[in-house]
Each structure stands twice: as C-alpha cells, then as structure tokens.
C-alpha cells in the first residue's frame, strides 16, 4: 500500500481540532450571555441574521427530534470510523477528502459533546424537565428571510458538517475518469505476445 504523506495528518487534525474548539468556545460564549438566556434575540442584520439560543435534540438543523441517543451513537461510530478509513485504509492519500473529513469530524465531535451533556447545562424554564441535565445540542445562529420563513437555528459544528459535505460533493464531481493515455497503456500491457505486430 502506498505510504500516506505526513502532511495529511495535519490536514485532517487542523480543521478537526480548530473547528471543534471554535464550536465549543462560541457555544459557551453565547450561552453565558444573560440577555440571550432570557430569550432575547441579538440582531446583526435586523429581522434577518442574529443570535438566539435554542436546544436541539435531533440531528442537523433540527431533523429527527427526540432521537438524541441514536444520533449520539451514530456520532461515536463516525468519530471512530473516519480516522480508521483515512489512515488505516489509506483514504488520506486524497488531500481534499482528508480536509473534508476533518471538517466533518469537527462537527461530529462538537455536537457529540453536547449530546452527552458534557456542557453541564440543564433544561431552563418551568417545564417538566426544568433543572434536569440537557442532553441536547446548543444552537445559537439565527437566519431568516422573514418571520414566515426561518431556517432552524444552528451552530459552528453544523456549519462545518455542511462545509465538509459540500467539499466531498464538489470533489466527487471533479474526479476525472481514467485518462485516455492510461487506458491505452493498460490495453497495450494486456495484449499477449502473439498479438504483437510482426
């Protein structure tokens, strides 16, 4: 098997570590803001882009609500499988694939941290679960066209998952087929000696 270039480890670890750290730091910062915790919205662009706290017990952008432990289990599987595939089975020879999966790993780890309740937050308010540990993802980025069309709140981890998926998609589209010269060489090599011109 061809040796994996040493720089592929950095290409994977850099977005994974920096991305995860940025996600956890921004979540801690936003959820420490008293005004946001009180339910207020801080607008960067009035009525379109701002900060608003919310809890997500589902997957990316609120899909699959209530299945937090299923998504936590899938995240653990992904966090183990990605580096094994890259560095044990050699997929890291592809630089773009390595970078994309570094972004995906950052998103997986950032949201897994929340799903396991490692942030130490409890459910707010006066509901049935008030004061209980919150095994849910902390979201804080708000984007909407207007009050009738609002995208589900998200965070840096979600954004990195989307970036990683987008890079994988574009990279897959740009993968060339076998060049004609390589195909000709393969065909020539497969010919038997009796087929050679005399």
- Identify the pLDDT of residue 175: 80
- Total count of residues recorded for the chain: 198
- 139 among known catalytic residues: yes
Q: What is the DSSP letter of 86?
A: I
- Identify the pLDDT of residue 34: 97
Q: Is the pLDDT of residue 124 over 70?
A: yes
Which entry of 114, 147, 148, 158 is annotated as an active-site residue? 158
Q: Is the pLDDT of residue 184 over 90?
A: no
Q: Is the pLDDT of residue 128 over 50?
A: yes
Place of tokens 């937090």: 68
**97 or 64: which leads in pLDDT:** 97
- 94 among known catalytic residues: no
Task: Please answer whether residues 4 and 92 qualify as being in contact, where contact means their C-beta atoms are separated by less than 8 angstroms.
Answer: yes
pTM: 0.85
Summarised one tens digit per residue, pLDDT across range 44-59 is 999 999 999 999 998 8
Mean pLDDT of the chain: 89
Helix (H) or strand (E) holding 12: helix 7-30
Which entry of 23, 94, 114, 139 is annotated as an active-site residue? 139
Residue ranges per domain, the chain? 7-171
Q: Is the pLDDT of residue 98 over 70?
A: yes
């Amino acid at each position: 098997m061809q040796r994996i270039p040493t720089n592929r480890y950095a290409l994977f670890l850099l977005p994974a570590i920096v991305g995860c750290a940025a996600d956890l730091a921004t979540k801690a910062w936003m959820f420490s803001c008293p005004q946001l915790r009180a339910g207020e919205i801080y607008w960067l662009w009035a009525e379109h882009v701002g900060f608003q706290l919310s809890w997500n017990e589902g997957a990316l952008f609120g899909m699959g609500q209530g299945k937090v432990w299923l998504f936590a289990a899938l995240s653990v599987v992904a966090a183990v499988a990605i580096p094994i595939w890259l560095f044990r089975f050699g997929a890291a020879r592809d630089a773009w694939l390595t970078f994309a999966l570094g972004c995906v790993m950052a998103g997986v780890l950032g949201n897994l941290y929340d799903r396991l309740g490692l942030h130490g937050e409890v459910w707010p308010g006066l509901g049935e679960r008030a004061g209980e540990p919150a095994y849910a993802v902390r979201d804080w980025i708000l984007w909407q066209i207007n009050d009738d069309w609002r995208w589900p709140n998200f965070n840096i981890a979600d954004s990195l998952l989307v970036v990683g998926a987008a890079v994988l998609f574009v990279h897959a589209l740009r993968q060339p087929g076998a060049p004609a010269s390589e195909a000709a060489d393969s065909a020539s090599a497969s010919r038997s000696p009796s087929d050679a011109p005399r």
